[in-house]
Amino acid sequence: MSGGTWNNLVAPDAAVASASGKLAYFNQAGPGYFKTMGTRLIAGREFNEHDTPSSPKAAIVNEKFARTLFGAANPVGHTFHMSADAGKPEPVFQIVGLVGNTKDGELREEFVPIAFFPVAQEDDLDASAHFVVRIAGAAGRFTSAAKSAASAVNPAMGIGFRSLSGQIEDSLLRERLMATFVARLWTPGGAAGHAWSLWCHCLYGGATPQRDWRTHRTRRGSERRDKTGPAGGRTAGRSGTHGGDCPRDVGGQSGSNALMASESALPT
């Protein structure tokens, strides 16, 4: 939801990923994530307690991923390879579920192929995590109880909360600013026209809307894309980090009343 993913080349079943030319994006999720977010489960299952470090590597893919690698066929039960560094075997993942397409970073973006891996199979967890919680009733009661529970585990643990609706509102900031400039400040050739040009450059990096991704290598030999977002760290849902000189937005799935809770300094 805040645009934090990594990417790599993939290939279906026994094909070699490094030569496929098919790029996909990856994230991590825990049991119940898709139900909490209201993401449609089309086939297969969500992650559960059977997805452990000792079980076969599992993945849930979105519709775009399935169509890119398998066409119109049901991908559940198939496997895919991910490209690896030279001299290392390509990891293989068993597809256990198919979910609907969702926006990864921005509401304006096109759907991209995404595969989700169970966070329980991650062998190198960060000291921070994001949790997505759907609540009924006042959010204040939940946040207070969550802070107390976190403090009981580790008084030094930092915890913060953010509503998904608020995150979506922030993601629409650029459109609202642009509409304001169009309605009130646009004067071709005048001072306001220069102001519009400057804002357009800052908001979009030029005349054409574009992403500003930074990449760095990961131990999987893939690239992790970090986009400006409100929080950082690995997640049982999604995560991202800040970067860039101008404000960047984050995206989310509309229609959900989920609450984002981010924790840092988790006990090791």
The pLDDT tens digits for 194-220 are: 554 555 555 545 444 444 333 333 333
**Rounded mean pLDDT of the chain?**
74
Q: Would you state the pLDDT for residue 55?
A: 96
* Residues ≥6 apart with Cβ < 8 Å to 122: 28, 234
Q: Say whether pLDDT at 189 is over 60.
A: no
- The model carries a pTM of 0.65
Q: What is the pLDDT of residue 190?
A: 52
Structural domain total, the chain: 1
Confidence of residue 187 (pLDDT cuts 50, 70, 90): low
| Residue that is written with structure tokens 């979506």 in the block | 168
Angle, CA 105 vertex, CA 261 and CA 121 arms, to 5°:
60
Identify residue 202 by its one-letter amino acid code: C
Tell how far CA 17 is from the center of its chain: 22
Residue 46: band (very low, low, confident or very high) from pLDDT cuts 50, 70, 90:
very high
**What is the span of the domain harbouring residue 113?**
5-121
Surface-to-core class of residue 236, CB atoms within 10 Å of its CB (0-12 exposed, 13-18 middle, 19+ buried): buried
Q: Is residue 213 part of a domain?
A: no
In a domain? residue 263: no
Tell me how far apart the alpha carbons of residues 146 and 133 are, in angstroms, rounded to a whole number.
11
Is there a domain that residue 171 lies in?
Answer: no
Q: How confident is the model at residue 169 (pLDDT cuts 50, 70, 90)?
A: confident
pLDDT of residue 160: 83
Among 12-16, 138-142, 247-251, the range scoring the smallest mean pLDDT is 247-251
Is residue 54 a part of any domain in this protein? yes
Coil, helix or strand for 215? strand
Task: Name 126's Cβ contacts closer than 8 Å, sequence gap at least 6.
Answer: 233, 234
Per the domain annotation, does 187 fall within a domain? Answer: no
Give the confidence band of 64 by pLDDT, cuts at 50, 70, 90.
very high
Which of 265, 256, 57 lies closest to 158 in space, CA to CA? 265
Least confident residue range of 35-44, 78-87, 169-178 = 169-178
Is 111 among the domain residues? yes
| Helix, strand, or coil (residue 249) | coil
Q: What angle do CA 67, 238, 78 make, to 5 degrees?
A: 30
With a cut of 70, say whether residue 29 has pLDDT above it: yes
- d(Cα 167, Cα 2) in Å, to the nearest integer? 8
Q: Which residues contact 268 (CB under 8 A, 6 or more apart)?
A: 127
- The answer to whether residue 101 sits within a structural domain is yes
Separation between Cα atoms, residue 143 and residue 148, nearest integer Å: 9
Instruction: Extract the tokens encoding 252.
Output: 């989310």
pLDDT for 142 equals 86
Does residue 106 carry a pLDDT above 90? no
CA count, 13 A, side-chain hemisphere, 239: 22
d(CA 43, CA 41): 6
Q: Given pLDDT bands bounded at 50, 70 and 90, which one contains residue 93? A: very high
pLDDT of 166 reads 77
Q: What residues contact residue 210 under an 8 Å CB cut-off, 6+ apart?
A: 204
Please choose, from the candidates 222, 164, 224, 228, the residue with its C-alpha nearest in 3D space to the C-alpha of residue 33. Answer: 164
pLDDT value at residue 62: 98
User: If we measure between CA atoms, which residue out of 200, 230, 202, 227 comes closest to residue 105?
Assistant: 227
Asked if 266 contacts 128 with a C-beta cutoff of 8 angstroms, the reply is yes
86 within some domain: yes
What per-residue confidence (pLDDT) applies to 82? 97
